[in-house]
């Protein structure tokens, strides 16, 4: 475990170049391996320290789709603001229809819907229209038939039938119940139906991407696999990912990505491991602070995180599946928290029985891709061994917590579904 204080840079300066060199060497895991790794929970606690909600912004109701309200909203007035017809038909007094039947039709005289519907009268109304004064029910077309200036009613209607009362959907001052989560299509329609025009939503997290690049290795995944993948998951989490240049000097690239326009986080992909070219975490240490490098997680355990120019920086592994998982657990957690969403994994979960055992190592959180077959979860490959191919065939993944050495066949496990 490599943990230095948040004020490491300042102390480095205070304690002179010799001490700084010693500290830098202690951060360097290249050709040595990780002496220790922090737990996923501890790394997430570090993330949560930086996840204060962004400031609210005003947007149109239409733009509020998938945004999170900055504060709970209450209805400004009753909705509907008046009693209105819920169906097309004739507004009448229910008492007038008592006893009406096919054999004993009740005859009402037709009047204007803009006036009073008196005793023995009825007025044509369309669904959604105001219920005329005097009327207390709507007689549908299946129960009424026009005969010249009169109406024959062949079925009794109860008081309130076919009418949506004033405030029936929501009363003035009542909470609308759409806060605390991304607004859905029909939530937006609901807000529009309340004649809201602009609403305050939590700001949209902006992430800046530095591609540290693949190591110079044969048969390696094309490095542009990361950009589209990360852009998609950042967008799913309510944020936006913009590319920033890399260049020869990673320290400068990180500082540039963290500067104006200042993003809410920086994501660096690649070069996080213990090989000779794995210089991204050290570049982050040189640009600011590197409190965490190495997490007890498979795949994705070489992830690093720190701060440069007061912006949180996530140095994600180059292997695409490890990169994705480290995003989901750490960088994505920050994106979701900043944007006002629940910070935990965003995948829907279900509980399923394992078809085969999952073998895991005690002491690290292991993630296993699974396919759902007839409602049961079938492990695909052994952890990293299947790579992206296994993830592409998978319906989701199972997390084996650090204290466990796996799951037995038939065990009930929680599947995070894609």
Q: Residues 239 to 268: which contact its own copies by CB under 8 A?
A: none
- Two tokens, residue 71: 């504060």
Q: Is 193 in the site for its own copies (CB under 8 A)?
A: yes
What kind and span of H or E run contains 163?
Answer: strand 163-164
**How many residues sit in the footprint of its own copies (CB under 8 A)?**
86
SS (HEC) of 251-302? HHHHHHHCCCCCCCEEEEECCCCCCCCCCHHHHHHHHEEEEEECECEECCCC
Gap between the Cα atoms of 229 and 238, Å rounded:
15
Residue in this structure with the two tokens 């939530």, named with its chain if needed: 187
| Smallest separation (angstroms) from its own copies to the CB of 11 | 28
152 binds its own copies (CB under 8 A): no
Per rule CB under 8 A, is residue 42 in the interface with its own copies? no
The residue count of the chain comes to 418
Q: Please state, in angstroms and rounded to a whole number, the distance separating the CA atoms of residues 85 and 375.
A: 46
238: contact with its own copies by CB under 8 A:
no
**Contact with its own copies (CB under 8 A) among 52, 55, 222, 374:** 222
The answer to whether 200 contacts its own copies (rule: CB under 8 A) is no
Q: How far is the CB of 177 from its own copies (least distance, A)?
A: 4
Residues 347-376 that bind its own copies (CB under 8 A): 348, 350
Rounded least distance, CB 187 to its own copies, Å: 5
Q: How many helices (H) and strands (E) does the chain have?
A: 10, 24
- Do residues 79 and 167 make contact, with C-beta atoms less than 8 angstroms apart? yes
- Closest contact distance (angstroms) between CB of 9 and its own copies is 27
Q: Determine if 126 is a binding residue for its own copies (CB under 8 A).
A: yes
| x/- map, 74-113, its own copies, by CB under 8 A | -----xxxx-x-xxxx------------------------
3-state secondary structure of 406: strand
Looking at residues 323 to 352 of the shown chain, list those that interact with its own copies (rule: CB under 8 A): 324, 348, 350
What angle do the packed helices 280-287 and 16-27 form, to 10 degrees?
150
Other beta carbons within 10 angstroms of residue 135's beta carbon come to: 26
Interface residue with its own copies, options 141, 198, 342, 363 (CB under 8 A):
141
Quote the least distance from Cβ 231 to its own copies, whole Å: 8
DSSP label at 143? G
Nearer to its own copies, 45 or 389 (CB): 389
Q: Restricting to residues 266-285, which ones interact with its own copies according to CB under 8 A?
A: 273-278
Of the candidate spans 92-100, 169-177, 200-208, 280-288, the one that interacts with its own copies by CB under 8 A turns out to be: 169-177
Question: 37 phi and psi, to 5 degrees?
Answer: -135, 145
* Cα separation, 295 vs 307, whole angstroms: 17
Q: Near its own copies by CB under 8 A, which window of 3-11, 101-109, 258-266, 390-398?
A: 390-398
Chosen residue from 186, 198, 262, 357 binding its own copies by CB under 8 A: 186
Please provide residue 351's backbone torsions phi and psi, each rounded to the nearest 5 degrees. -105, 130
Residue (48 or 142) nearer to its own copies, CB: 142
């Amino acid at each position: 475990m490599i943990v230095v204080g948040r004020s490491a840079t300042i102390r480095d300066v205070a304690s002179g170049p010799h001490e700084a060199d010693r500290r830098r060497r202690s951060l360097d895991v290249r050709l040595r391996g990780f002496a220790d790794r922090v737990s996923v929970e501890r790394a997430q606690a570090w993330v949560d320290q930086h996840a204060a909600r962004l400031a609210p912004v005003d947007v149109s109701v239409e733009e509020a789709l998938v945004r999170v309200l900055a504060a709970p909203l209450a209805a400004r007035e009753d909705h509907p603001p008046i009693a209105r017809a819920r169906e097309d038909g004739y507004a009448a007094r229910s008492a007038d229809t008592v006893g009406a039947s096919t054999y004993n039709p009740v005859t009402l005289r037709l009047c204007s819907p803009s006036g009073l519907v008196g005793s023995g009268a009825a007025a044509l109304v369309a669904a959604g229209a105001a219920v005329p004064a005097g009327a207390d029910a709507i007689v549908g077309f299946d129960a009424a038939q026009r005969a010249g200036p009169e109406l024959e009613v062949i079925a009794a209607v109860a008081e309130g039938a076919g009418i949506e009362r004033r405030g029936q959907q929501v009363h003035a001052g009542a909470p609308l119940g759409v806060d605390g989560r991304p607004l859905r299509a029909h939530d937006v329609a609901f807000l529009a139906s309340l004649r809201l025009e602009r609403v305050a939503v939590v700001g949209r997290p902006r992430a800046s991407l530095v591609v540290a690049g693949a190591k110079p290795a044969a048969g390696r995944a094309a490095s542009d696999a990361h950009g589209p993948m990360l852009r998609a998951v950042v967008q799913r989490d309510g944020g936006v990912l913009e590319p920033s240049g890399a260049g020869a000097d990673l320290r400068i690239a990180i500082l540039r990505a963290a500067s104006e326009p200042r993003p809410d986080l920086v994501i660096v992909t690649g070069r996080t491991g213990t090989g000779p070219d794995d210089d991204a975490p050290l570049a982050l240490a040189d640009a600011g602070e590197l409190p965490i490098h190495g997490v007890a997680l498979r795949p994705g355990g070489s992830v690093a995180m720190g701060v440069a120019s007061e912006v949180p920086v996530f140095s994600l592994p180059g292997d695409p599946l490890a990169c994705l998982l480290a995003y989901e657990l750490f960088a994505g957690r920050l994106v979701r928290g900043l944007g006002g969403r629940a910070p935990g994994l965003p995948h829907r979960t279900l509980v399923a029985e394992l078809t085969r055992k999952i073998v895991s190592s005690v002491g690290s959180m292991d993630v296993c891709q699974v396919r759902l077959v007839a409602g049961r979860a079938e492990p695909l490959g052994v952890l990293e061994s299947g790579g992206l191919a296994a993830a592409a065939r998978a319906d989701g993944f199972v997390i084996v917590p650090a204290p466990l050495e796996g799951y037995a066949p038939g065990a009930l496990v929680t599947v995070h579904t894609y």
